[in-house]
Amino acid sequence: MPKPKSRDKFTLIAIGLIIFLLVASFAAVWFYRHEQGKTSLRQNYTVVGPLVVSTDEYSVGTSMALETSAGNAEWARNNQSAIRAVIETTLRSLDAQQVHLPGGLAALQVALTAAVNKSMKTDKVEQILLTDFLLQTGV
């Protein structure tokens, strides 16, 4: 029986290596997808709005998202009407000139978050993020 040539050995090694890499790749993808399903969400975003608030000085049109932990998502959905009322009240007492200053929108987001948490006697709302905001002064 003749000995296999070195070229034949190389071909067998190359095929074996390719099969090993394919199996390893498929295994890695399977483990990644399997673990991805186990990863729980840490945050939840509940959409509030659109809201329109008008005073003698200005009108505000806005939409926002409430950031809560995943465990408090149901609480945010159940209390959305009360949260919406607090936000509308806070927007009615808005200082329109402050919003135009640098950092004004960030300060408004912090003020809205604090007002909701204080009014609801909780700390479940981690952050209120303005997704749309339109302020018209001199109405």
**pLDDT, tens digit (0-9, with 9 covering 90-100), for 76-118:** 888 888 989 999 998 888 887 888 888 888 888 999 999 999 9
| CATH assignment at residue 68 | 3.30.479.30
Q: Is 29 helix (H, G, I), strand (E, B) or coil?
A: helix
Domain span at residue 121 reads: 43-137
105 and 52 share a domain? yes
- What pLDDT sits at residue 96? 79
Give the E-state strand segments of 16-57 in sequence order: 43-54
pLDDT at position 138: 75
Mean pLDDT of 37-63: 81
Q: Judge if 62 and 107 occupy the same domain.
A: yes
Q: What is the pLDDT of residue 24?
A: 92
Q: Is 95 exposed, middle or buried (0-12, 13-18, 19+ CB in 10 A)?
A: middle
> What is the mean pLDDT of the segment spanning 12-40?
84
List CB contacts of 91: < 8 A, sequence separation 6 or more.
51, 53, 60, 62, 112
